[in-house]
Structure 1
Amino acid sequence: MIIDRNIAIMYQKSQIKPGAIIGVAGVEGWETFTLPMLNLFMLSSGFTVVDQAIFYAQGPGEILLNDSAMERARKLGFNLYQAASKPNEKWGYLGEPGQCPNCHQNLFIIKNGKVECALCQTKAEVEKANGTIKLSFNPENLKENRWSDKALQENLFSAVLSSGPRFLEEKAQIEKRAQKYLVLK
């Protein structure tokens, strides 16, 4: 629900701010949703994600002992500075590539027999070669994703804004039904 509210707030300012994501995990393998969830928050808040990285460190300050992580963090900060120094139409993704060409995440779902990015809904085709699976993307489909201006406008007007009057019409019925679920009366 907070994502829908963010979209309503940022709709007029779609992707006008560059942003970078730093995710932290104590142990490799426990970070599966870290970058996607941070990315979701950034995208729904109107940021264009220009770089992202996940770092692993268990104890306080331990990351400072990892020279490659510190260099990657420096590069991430530089990439954010580079993007902020340019007009937004010149921003590009500067980080390490993910599977999805739009949001650079590696989180995909099968929906109605088709594969799509769980975060931005970019459609993909599955190819199998030499025992490995690869996703391919039709360039025409790259413009059709959850964070496009068209999709944001459709969601805002058909779902978010229209829910207010509907709620007011159904409020009494909702409150009546809610009574049987309330523990404290």
Structure 2
Amino acid sequence: MKKILGIISSPRNLGNSEIMVKEISRNISLPHELQLLRLSDFNILPCTGCYMCLIKNKGCVLKDDFNMLAERILEADALIVAAPTYFLGANSCLKRLTDRGLALYPHAEKLWGKPAVGIGIAGIPGKEGYTLLGIENFIKLILADMKQAGIIYGALPGEIFLNNENRETAKELASALFEPAPEKAPCSCPLCGGKTFRFLKENRIQCMLCSNIGSMTLKDNIPCFDIQKGEHELFLSLEEVIEHRKWLVSMKSRFLQHKDELKKISLDYRNYGEWIKP
């Protein structure tokens, strides 16, 4: 029996994020057990960037609930991620968990290929901002295989199911979870499938999911993107993930090599400005 983990980035009990995850689960045909995490129930401290999770390879050293969450993610056969829109972005619980993702890199081989779907919920049609990007970012950076992600609309708890269209979306996500990844949509990044872009000068664009740069042309009034891999990739292949992990670990020796020079630069700013403390 499959073990599916629903990651809910909403503090609302029985809110739209929670019931959407459960509706997706109801439509999965394979026998499975649904386990649920409400991120606001857990103490997730900000990452301090100490790199000890990589250097010691014993999980995060911070005394909070992250390692418990990491264990659940590692144990799951698949993930369903849901987040509400707060001020044009995914609820901050999801970003705080994403920021702790360095501690998952020692488990890259186990995480790679773990199927996942994501859904964002916004109260006003068209006002989801970068919510979808935040969900895609989370799924990609925990090294899961994003099968499909989308946005639905509904403000009041339960409002998302006042129409059947959102129930159909739940069925689509349920069907996609254990199926081969669909072909990338025409108006998406050809490398990662991202759908959010920054427009630069001279028809140059940057994918905001994988951060690679390329160009855009119109073909039959449809945007077509030609985006090339950069020299340092984060999640496009397992091999590149492992290389990025090696690069991260190498930061310790690099720091020690330049320690005195870096300390001199930093100390020049020590007494500048006045700190406000709680």
TM-score normalised to structure 1 length: 0.71
The answer for the alignment partner of 1:86 in structure 2 is none
The answer for the alignment partner of 1:93 in structure 2 is 182
- Unpaired stretches in structure 2, ≥5 consecutive residues: 1-48, 50-98
| SS of residue in 2 equivalent to 1:92 | coil
The correspondence of residues 166-181 of structure 1 with structure 2, limited to 5 A, is 166=255, 169=259, 174=266, 177-178=269-270, 180=272
TM-score normalised to structure 2 length: 0.50
The answer for the alignment partner of 1:53 in structure 2 is 150
Distance 1:123 1:42, change over 3 A: same
Answering whether residue 118 of structure 2 is matched by residue 118 of structure 1, we say no
The answer for the alignment partner of 1:31 in structure 2 is 128
Cα distance in 2 for partners of 1:162, 1:126 equals 36
| SS of residue in 2 equivalent to 1:137 | strand
The answer for the alignment partner of 2:39 in structure 1 is none
Answering whether residue 252 of structure 2 is matched by residue 164 of structure 1, we say yes
Q: CA deviation at 1:179?
A: 5.6
Cα distance in 2 for partners of 1:33, 1:150 equals 29
Answering whether residue 201 of structure 2 is matched by residue 77 of structure 1, we say no
The answer for the alignment partner of 2:217 in structure 1 is 127
- Structure 1 or 2: larger helix share? 1
Q: CA RMSD in A?
A: 3.7
The answer for the alignment partner of 2:63 in structure 1 is none
Instruction: Please list the CA deviations of residues 53-91 of structure 1 after superposition, one character each: whole Å capped at 9, or x if unmatched.
Output: 2110011101111101111112211211x33xxxxxxx3
The answer for the alignment partner of 2:112 in structure 1 is 15
- Unpaired stretches in structure 1, ≥5 consecutive residues: 84-90
Answering whether residue 271 of structure 2 is matched by residue 183 of structure 1, we say no
Instruction: Please list the CA deviations of residues 7-34 of structure 1 after superposition, one character each: whole Å capped at 9, or x if unmatched.
Output: 6344334532000001101112221311
Distance 1:101 1:14, change over 3 A: farther
Tell me the number of residue pairs that the alignment of Structure 1 and Structure 2 aligns. Answer: 173
The answer for the alignment partner of 2:160 in structure 1 is 63
Instruction: Please list the CA deviations of residues 93-142 of structure 1 after superposition, one character each: whole Å capped at 9, or x if unmatched.
Output: 37976522343332112468632312113444321457x4622337xx47
Q: CA deviation at 1:177?
A: 4.5
- Counterpart of 1:121 in structure 2: which amino acid? S
- Counterpart of 1:79 in structure 2: which amino acid? A
The answer for the alignment partner of 1:87 in structure 2 is none
